[in-house]
Amino acid sequence: MAESLARIKIRIKIAGVGHALGELNRLTAPLTVGDIVKKLPINSRTIPSQGCVSIIIGLKRGVEKPVNQVEPGTIAYWPQAGSLCIYPSATRTFGPVNRVGIISSNLEIFRNLKSGSRILIEAI
């Protein structure tokens, strides 16, 4: 698969906070990433949790190449909650997650977010 088709560049805007850049990677979880891309742009609210920021996206999909440990900047889909999770630091997850991408710049905006912050995820 060509590199440009496997990686989808995204911008994540958080109202009143700033924006970050990242990419979704079809090679890590092709079916999950394909479904997420179909939903872009995603307009939702943040739900900060211990170790991650969760974003409900209304997607129902099972595990695909699941992991229980993630590195800083990981974007993952959490099947149990039907949400995307962004991890600002290395974390042992609450359950299996599908790694779907990575934050490439401005990861610090995901630290200390308030619950309910408006978030927009769009392809660029």
Q: Can you tell me the mean pLDDT for 52-61?
A: 95
Number of domains comprising the chain: 1
- Is the predicted pLDDT of residue 73 greater than 50, yes or no? yes
Q: What is the CATH number of the domain that holds 51?
A: 2.40.100.20
Q: Torsion angle of alpha carbons 95, 112, 118, 38, nearest 10°?
A: -40
Q: Can you tell me the mean pLDDT for 26-49?
A: 96
pLDDT for position 1: 46
b/e per residue 80-112 (b: at least 16 CB within 10 A): ebebbbbbbeebebbebbbbbbbbeeebebbee
Per the structure, the complete domain to which residue 43 belongs is given by 3-123
Average pLDDT, the chain: 94
pLDDT tens-digit map of 81-97: 999 999 999 999 989 99
Q: Can you tell me the mean pLDDT for 27-38?
A: 96
**Local confidence band at 112 (pLDDT 50, 70, 90 cut-offs):** confident
Q: DSSP letter for 108, please.
A: G
Q: What pTM was estimated for this model as a whole?
A: 0.94
